[in-house]
Amino acid sequence: MAPHLLYCWELGQGYGHVLNFRHLALRLLEQGWRVSCVTKNLDVSRKMLPEIQDIRATPATDRQVKHNPTRNLAEILVNNGFHDQQNTLNRCQAWLDIFTELQPDIVLIDHAPTALLVSHAADIPRVLMGTGFFIPPDTKPLPFLLSHLLGEQQSGAEDQVLSQCNAFLKSAKKPPLAYFSQLFGQADDCFLCTLPEFDHYSQRQDAEYWGPCFDFEQGALPQWTQENKPRIFVYLHQDFVAMPTILQQLHELDAAVSLHISGIEQDVMAQYPKFIWHRDAVNLAAVAAECDLVICHAGHGTLSGMLLNAVPLLLLPKQLEQWILAELLCRRYLAYFIPPEGDYQNLADKINRILNDDTLRQNLTAFANTYAGFSHQEQKQGMLEALQTLLENKKPGLTPGFA
């Protein structure tokens, strides 16, 4: 029987998660593995992973904003289902029902904390995969992120999440966790898909960095207007609070502007006829080869691929993970950024400054040269070999009587 890997993506948005998995998924299918997915966004997953037949939705998460802004992973989880014990137990049971039905040999966890908890309880081999933001170091307490801006006052979120995890483990007759990040530390393997320069946790020790995962080859080729003008590609979400100001500032530029803004309304597009609007995903490899500047929210895959191609970036983070990355890169003089609630009235001036920043271009070229030997093919081959080794040492699956 073919080995079976189940990919689980529970939290987050955009194309990044499934595109990060795409290269590995294709490699597994080539090697005869069965691959199934449980994902947050069925439309995106089916569009980006058409080769996989079994793609189903994650159990529902009851989102309630208890912490704003969020300062660490525990506060994010409290906002996303871990605020209520019964809700957590119901969600755990739903994940267990999926595992019992599908009987995976290995579970690949991509920002899927409930799936991680249930696979831990069920003794299913599990591998973490992600950028590092949602794979915290094995420390107690969890580090606060951007503490110089947001402070380190304890909110009780970590104790709350730990209590809910241990309540489920008790119901499953499993030993409790001593501290929350132990759940991640006890995974069978970890594909930390980032570079040291991008790691959200400076506290991390002895990490094995696999390099970033991204797939720039999907989507339509970008279109441009106005020959011999600077080319600017804009990849943002329509719900970003500063969107009206951003569009107006871009309209003032003497540049060719091409945009993919997910969910943008037709009447908004009609107000800016000199822009090229892309409704669907755009081939970012072509964007990297053709544009002079990318404006994005600082999604890890997008900025990684652009930096490896020495493309200037203006980062407009909309949540904590992106904000940290933007600060890290700005500190290293590899990008410009505007923080949440920042001033967007002078966006056009900042864009012109980036386009004429020779020092930035020199730094980007040096960075790209440092990682010129990075290969997605070698990365995925290494992951495949690690999964095969884990499969060979696999213990029995679901604990008898647990389901």
Instruction: Report pLDDT for 148.
Output: 61
Q: By C-alpha distance, which of 6, 15, 9 is closest to 300?
A: 15
Tell me how far apart the alpha carbons of residues 116 and 105 are, in angstroms, rounded to a whole number.
14
- CB atoms closer than 10 angstroms to residue 253: 17
Lowest-pLDDT choice from 45-59, 92-106, 143-157, 219-233: 143-157
For the purposes of burial, counting CB atoms within 10 Å of the CB of 239, is it exposed (0-12), middle (13-18) or buried (19 or more)? Answer: exposed
Q: How far is CA 239 from CA 60, 65, 317, in A?
A: 22, 17, 12
Q: How confident is the model at residue 401 (pLDDT cuts 50, 70, 90)?
A: very low
User: Could you report the per-residue pLDDT of 17-76, keeping only the tens digit for each?
Assistant: 888 899 899 999 999 999 999 999 999 999 989 999 999 999 998 888 887 777 889 999
Which of the pair, 237 or 147, is modelled with greater confidence?
237
User: Could you report the per-residue pLDDT of 20-30, keeping only the tens digit for each?
Assistant: 899 899 999 99
- CB atoms closer than 10 angstroms to residue 230: 18
- φ, ψ at 383 (rounded to 5°): -65, -40
Which of the pair, 147 or 367, is modelled with greater confidence?
367
